[in-house]
Structure 1
Amino acid sequence: MFNRKWLKVAAAGVMISLVWSIFSSLGTGGMLNFVEAPLRDLMREMSDQERAPYDQIKIIKIDDASLEQLGQFPWDRSLYAQLIAMLEEANVKAVLLDIVLAEPSQNPEADEAMAEVMKSYDNVILPVVFDMKVRQEGKGRLEAESVINPAPAIGANSEQTGHINVMTDKDGTVRMLTVGLPDPGGMMVPAVSVRLANYILDQGNQIRYDASQDKWFRGNRQIPLNNKNQVTTDFFSKPREAISADTGYDSQSFFDVLSGEVPAQYYENSIVLIGPWASGLQDEYLTPLSKSLRMYGVEIHANMIQSLAMGAFYVEAPAGVNIAIIAVLTLLSLMLFEKFRGRMSFVIYIAFALLYILCWLSIYYFSSLFISFTYPFLAITTALVWAIVSHYGAERRERGRVTNIFGRFVSRSVVDELLASGEEIKVGGQRRDISVIFVDIRGFTPMSERLQPEEVIQVLNEYLDICTKAVFKWNGTLDKFIGDGVMAFFGAPVELENHPELAIRAALEMKNKSDILEQKCLEKFGIGVKFGIGINCGPAVVGNIGSEMLRLDYTAIGDTVNLSARLESNAKPGQILISEEMYKRAGGLFELEDIGEIKVKGKEMPVRVYAVLSEKSAVRFSGGDTENED
């Protein structure tokens, strides 16, 4: 038996590990990359204080306000030349003009002005655009069909250009920075963000490409790229975010700077990016920070510059490492789930999950290594599900026979308690503190005299259904139907500390739902009925009463039950009467009316009663042993 049990566990572990290992190896990021990538985004999300964009990176926006002042796009290139010259005279570190100037201008003088700027200032960067092949021949690599360079008339040299290609993942989200792209001639063209980041970095940390090794370095440290020359970029600003004390890149309107409203000296010692900031210019992309609001390309380049400058790179763990993690966690968790059953299995599962999250974070933050999160987590979740199903199947078969027999005689909650206790069924009970509710339909007799028997049964069933659902919703036990009335109690067989509150809430539920049904009856039959409800709480004997050999009823008896029945008989149509004891325990949660003392059958002294009107508006149900709210 021992060997068979553990062989079964081992076989399950192998199968679960194999399935999730296969899923993790299918395509980039695995078959469930659409889950893995957003989880990774969530784990890498930073607060405003953590993002802290560099104040030396500034953006000049070609925005709607500038378009209104300077006319429709594209503009005359002399405007760019004029603005760049102003910035250079103010001693900026570098300028990126994120505008493709591929064709000669219709105004040769504008190209001459740009050429003069490019000749005079070697820290001006212009974009190169790679037209990528639709079908990539080299697996996992990026190959270009052609390259769009600045127009020759502008005179930009190779050191003054960088590619601006923004690559999206399969879900259309930008997560990766393509550090460099090889042109059709085999020359490596760095990203504009690489060019500009080097103006921030000191000489010992410059980003460079080593052609002999076909690798990229930041100083002496190799940048952990994938086979597409990509590294994950961090985002230090939200899409279109204005600068604040904690976050956001400083951005100003193109026209405001050109006109002098924002002085060029404001950009001294800054990296300045000039680019589109209007939806009509169609240069915007989704990022991990928002699935609806897109980020402009110039913003993405600003974030990529800071990402490279900070150098907080991480590398994906090899596939073999992830497969080993999946196998080890699956087998270990299955062994523990088999040894520790029931609630302890969930405790172990939560401990495993928390431990794995802690390890994931530690490895990421201290080793810059990203191990798979989704597949190991799903593997141990599958192991837990398998263990639960396996245990449940065995227990279900053991309990099935008893449940089928006794389920015909008592309610399911009673059967469950009897099975859980492991005790023999016998006549007798135990003293419990409970709340008892009696419900009776007022006006039902006149209605039954006027309606056909089928209609009477229909109406009765609908009213009893309201009572049953209300009792079950608030974790009560339905004792019995008494003609057109109902008896239920709260606090047994399952103990509930707040059973008086739950009983009142159930009564209010019945009252509210019965008002709707009454209106239907008035419209359909011309006559309506209401509930009269009585509730009391206190000690009672709860247990099995009847014939031990033939028939048992699980019910409650005692003075608490009797008083509840007397209160119901004194309740007017639509009225909920509670005892003074109920008032002491739960009255503060509800709007009540003091009815005063009334004389009830079986009591020598009058009893004080209260009518429940409604729940207090400022009070909300806060838990207990149910998830429902009134």
Structure 2
Amino acid sequence: MAIRKWLRTAAAWLVIAAFWTLLANLGTGGTLNFVESTFRDLATRKSVEERNPAGEIKIIKMDQASLDVLGAFPWDRAYYAQLIEMLAEAGANAVFLDVHLADPGPYPESDAYMADVISRYDNVYLPVVFVFKAQQEDANSLEIAAIEYPSATIGAPTDQVGHINVMWDKDRVVRKLTIGLPDEEGRMIPAMSVRLANAVLPEEEQIRWDEERKGWYRGDKRIPVNARYQVTTDFFTKPQQEITADTGYDAISFYQVLTGEVDPEFFRGSVVLIGPYATGFGDEYAIPNSNLKMYGVEIHANMTQSLISGKFYTEAPQWTGALLIALLTLLSLLLYERFPGLKSVLVYVGLAVAYVLAFLSAYTFSSVFIPFTYPFLALFTALVWTVVSHYLNERRERGRVTNIFGRFVPKTVVDELLASGEEIKVGGQRRDISVVFVDIRGFTPMSERLQPEEVIGVLNEYLDICTKAVFQWHGTLDKFIGDGVMALFGAPIHYDNHPELAIRAALEMRKHADRLEQECIKKWGIGVKFGVGINCGPAVVGNIGSEMLRLDYTAIGDTVNLAARLESNAKPGQILISEEVYKRAGHLFRLEDIGEIKVKGKEKPVRVFAVLGAAEDGGQAVEAGRREGA
């Protein structure tokens, strides 16, 4: 039995672990990747104090106010060139124009002005845009259809460009920075945020692509990028907020700087990002932990600060998920088996809390994201399997016990006990019951004349008659005593009229015993009869015996003893009842007053009555099911 249970547990472990491992490896992080992403978003959410945007990063907004002053977009490129020159002359550390200038402008002189500014200031950067194929080979591929560089009329050098591709996850939320992408010849074009971060970082901590080691490095520290050269980024500001020095990056309207309303000296020593900051530009993206979208220029600012901070979040290896699923499933199944019922739910809560703490600890102290969703689902599935398994086992055990118990009491009694939900307690309870003892008269001579197999056959038929009669009248079969029977009426389910039920069961036995006796006489020339004794009164009823080894549901007490003594005094075919039974139910039957007889264990004689049959006005129509309180 134990081996079979452990085999079932092992099979459940294999099925649950294999199922969730397979699901976790479908697509990019599994079909429930959005759940994983949401939980990680909650883990990476920063408080107001933690946001602390870098003061050296400033934004010049191409906002609605600037559109009102300078006119509709697109603007003359001379505006950009003039603003960039002002910032460079004022001592800005780096200037990035987040406007894609892939085609020649309508004014050649403006493009020439822009080209002159680019050539004179090597800390000015223009964007490159990668166009990807609509269908990728697999989830980790980034097959390129085209690369759009700044127009040749501007002629930006390769070390003054950076890509500005903002790529979202499957749920269209931007969480990762693509640090670099290979061009047509396989050379890495860094992200614009890499260019800007390097303008701030010291020489020994510069971010670079190491061709020999095929990896991105910040100084000597390898940046843990995925197959798409991506790393999870932090967000230090909220989207579309009114930026102030206290809550976000300093942000000034484009026209204010261009017109001199704000002195360009304000940007000395700063990394300056110039970009769209109005809904009409269509440069907005969803970010974690916010219902609002963030402008692309501000996303680049956050990515730049992430690179400067140097805190990179690593994805745990793919095999880690399979290992965690297997270990958590096995551990939970073992614990659930050890602590069934409500305790298993408490174990699940404990394991879930422990795993959440492990996830947060790995993120906080090691900057590692361990898989969360699928191990957690495996943990929950193991709980569901255990609960269902225990339920089915209990149902099977209940059916087995019901079947066994149903051999001692009527099915209606079993059903009522189960429906009541009451426990059959170990030990005894004082109850008012009727006790019936039945013995087969003449069985010993018969057993001497017949073969053992024939004796057993006859005995089983007589005992079957007794059992059916007891059950028919709502009694409980207590035990077989050799060729005799002990039965209880009024326990474990109490009936007010249990003395009546006991007598009717005895009459039922006698009726069928007469038929069987005739068959035995015809077959073997010898017959047997029942002798029955019935008493009612108080007795201790319950499970009596060894709690660890063997328990019997029975009754003990003087009421039981007197019933046994009456049976021993009954003649073949006679049903003897005590005076107490007579007082309670005698009016329903035809009786013969036997008078007082001396019985073993009693100092005084007891008055006894013999039951002849049912009263003419009270036969079988008397209700047998009057329960207590009915």
Aligned residue for 1:462? none
CA contact (8 A) 1:238 1:289 kept: no
Q: Unpaired segments of 5 or more residues in structure 2?
A: 433-622
- Is the partner of 1:75 in helix, strand or coil? coil
- Give the structure 2 partner of residue 169 of structure 1: 169
What is residue 195 of structure 2 aligned with on the other side? 195
Task: Give runs of aligned pairs for residues 69-108 of structure 1, distance below 5 A.
Answer: 69-108=69-108
Instruction: Give the whole-Å Cα distance in 1 for the aligned partners of 2:424 and 2:35.
Output: 40
CA spacing shift, 1:392–1:165, aligned 2, 3 Å: same
**1:187: Cα distance to partner?**
1.9
1:258/1:389 CA distance change after superposition, 3 Å: same
Q: Measured at CA, do residues 389 and 148 of structure 1 come closer, stay the same or move farther in structure 2, by a change above 3 Å? A: same
Written as runs of structure 1 = structure 2, the 5 A alignment for 1:459-478 is none
* Structure 1 position 247, deviation (Å): 3.0
- Corresponding residue for residue 354 of structure 1: 353
SS in 1 for 2:103: coil
Q: Is the 2:27–2:139 contact (alpha carbons within 8 Å) kept by the matching residues of 1?
A: no
The 10-residue stretch of structure 1 (395-404 or 371-380) with the greater mean CA deviation from structure 2: 395-404
Partner secondary structure for residue 31 of structure 2: coil
SS at match of 1:54: coil
Cα deviation code 1:501-542 (max 9, x no counterpart): xxxxxxxxxxxxxxxxxxxxxxxxxxxxxxxxxxxxxxxxxx
Q: Does 1:2 align with 2:2?
A: yes
Q: Which residue of 1 aligns with 2:131?
A: 131
Q: What does the per-residue CA deviation read over 1:336-385, in whole Å, with 9 as the maximum and x for residues that have no partner? A: 10011122212211111111112112222222221100111111111111
Q: In 1, Cα distance between the equivalents of 2:323 and 2:138?
A: 29
What SS is found at the alignment partner of 2:349?
A: helix
Change over 3 Å in CA distance of 1:266–1:8 after alignment to 2: same
- CA offsets per residue over residues 110-160 of structure 1, 9 Å max, x none? 112211211221111100111112223476231221111111221311111
Relative to structure 1, the CA distance from residue 381 to residue 420 in structure 2 (aligned partners, 3 Å threshold; closer, same or farther) is: farther
Offset of residue 190 of structure 1: 0.5
Aligned residues: 432
Aligned residue type for 1:51: R
**Conserved? CA contact 1:239–1:289, under 8 Å:** no
Cα distance, 1:152–1:391 mapped onto 2, change above 3 Å: same
Structure 2 vs 1, CA of residues 23 and 85 (structure 1 numbering), >3 Å: closer, same or farther? same
State the match for 2:184 in structure 1. Answer: 184
CA offsets 1:55-76 (integer angstroms, 9 cap, x no match): 1111111111111111110000
- Counterpart for residue 115 of structure 1: 115
Conserved? CA contact 2:244–2:251, under 8 Å: no
1:284-323 deviations in whole A, cap 9, x for unaligned?
1111132x42111101101110111111112222222211
User: What amino acid maps onto 1:247 in structure 2?
Assistant: T
Q: For 1:213 and 1:172, how far apart are their aligned partners in 2?
A: 32
- Structure 1 CA distance for aligned equivalents of residues 309 and 424 of structure 2: 60
SS of the aligned residue for 1:551 comes to coil
Matches within 5 A, 1:248-327: 248-290=248-290, 292-327=291-326
SS in 1 for 2:328: helix
In the alignment, structure 1 segments of 5+ residues that lack a partner are 429-546, 555-630
Aligned ranges 1:419-568 → 2 under 5 Å: 419=423, 550-553=626-629
Q: Does the 8 A contact of 1:17 with 1:327 survive in 2? A: yes
Q: Tell me the residue number matched to 2:232.
A: 232
After the TM superposition, list the runs of 4 or more consecutive aligned residues in structure 1 that deviate by more than 6 angstroms.
406-412, 420-428
Mapped partners of 2:20, 2:232: distance in 1: 25
**Residues 98 and 29 (structure 1 numbering): CA distance in 2 closer, same or farther, change over 3 Å?**
same
Alpha carbons 2:28, 2:139 under 8 Å: kept: no
CA distance in 2: counterparts of 1:312 and 1:365, whole angstroms: 11
Within 5 Å, give how 1:46-85 maps onto structure 2. Answer: 46-85=46-85
Q: 1:59 to 1:409 in 2, by over 3 A?
A: same
Residue 387 (structure 2) pairs with residue 388 (structure 1): yes
Matched-pair contact (CA < 8 Å) for 2:196–2:271: yes
Matched residue, 1:367: 366
CA-to-aligned-CA distance 1:407-458 (integer Å, 9 cap, x gap): 987997xx34x24978999989xxxxxxxxxxxxxxxxxxxxxxxxxxxxxx
> Conserved in 2, the CA contact under 8 Å of 1:48 and 1:246?
no
Structure 1 CA distance, aligned partners of 2:246 and 2:11? Answer: 54
Indicate the larger mover: 397-406 or 183-192.
397-406
Change (3 A) 1:548 1:181: farther
Q: TM-score, normalised by structure 1?
A: 0.65
Q: Distance in 1 between matches of 2:426 and 2:259?
A: 88
Change (3 A) 1:190 1:423: farther
Letter in 2 for 1:551: R
Mapped to 1, the partners of 2:259 and 2:292 lie a distance apart of 30
**Contact 2:285–2:296 (8 Å) recurs in 1:** yes
* Residue 454 (structure 2) pairs with residue 378 (structure 1): no
Cα distance in structure 1, aligned partners of 2:13 and 2:110 = 70
SS of equivalent to 1:29 = coil
Q: Is the 8 A contact 1:427 1:548 kept in 2?
A: no
C-alpha contact (below 8 Å) 1:36/1:374 kept by paired residues: yes
Cα shift at 1:19: 0.5
Q: 1:280 deviation in Å?
A: 1.0
Q: 1:343 aligns to what?
A: 342
> Which residue does the alignment assign to 2:523?
none
Which secondary structure state, in structure 2, belongs to the residue aligned with residue 129 of structure 1? strand
Q: Distance in 2 between matches of 1:224 and 1:279?
A: 34
User: Is the contact made by 1:236 and 1:247 (CA closer than 8 Å) also made in structure 2?
Assistant: no
SS at match of 1:217: strand
* Partner SS state of residue 126, structure 1: strand
1:549 deviation in Å?
A: 7.1
Q: Tell me if structure 2 keeps the 8 A contact 1:314–1:369.
A: yes
Q: Distance in 2 between matches of 1:420 and 1:330?
A: 37
Paired letter, 1:361 = L
Query: Displacement, 1:265?
Result: 1.6
TM-score normalised per structure 2: 0.65
Q: CA deviation at 1:180?
A: 0.7
Compute the displacement of 1:261 (Å). Answer: 2.2
Contact 2:320 2:371 in 1 (8 A): no
CA contact (8 A) 1:127 1:162 kept: yes
Match of 2:564 in 1: none
**What amino acid is aligned across from residue 164 of structure 2 in structure 1?**
I
SS in structure 1 of the partner of residue 285 of structure 2:
strand
For residues 61-117 of structure 1, the C-alpha deviation after alignment (integer angstroms, 9 at most, x for no partner) is 111111111111000011111111221222111111000111112111211221121
Alpha-carbon distance in structure 2 between the residues aligned to 1:117 and 1:124: 8
- Provide the rounded CA distance (Å) in 2 between the counterparts of 1:179 and 1:342: 51
Partner of 1:42: 42
- Cα distance 1:138–1:548, how it changes in 2: closer, same or farther (>3 A)? closer
DSSP-derived class of the 2:153 partner:
helix
1:12, CA displacement in angstroms?
0.7
> Contact between 1:285 and 1:297, CA under 8 Å: does it hold in 2?
yes
- Distance in 2 (CA, whole Å) between partners of 1:137 and 1:385 is 38
Decide which structure has the larger Cα Rg and report it: 2
- 1:540 equivalent in structure 2: none
**1:190-229 pair list within 5 angstroms:** 190-229=190-229
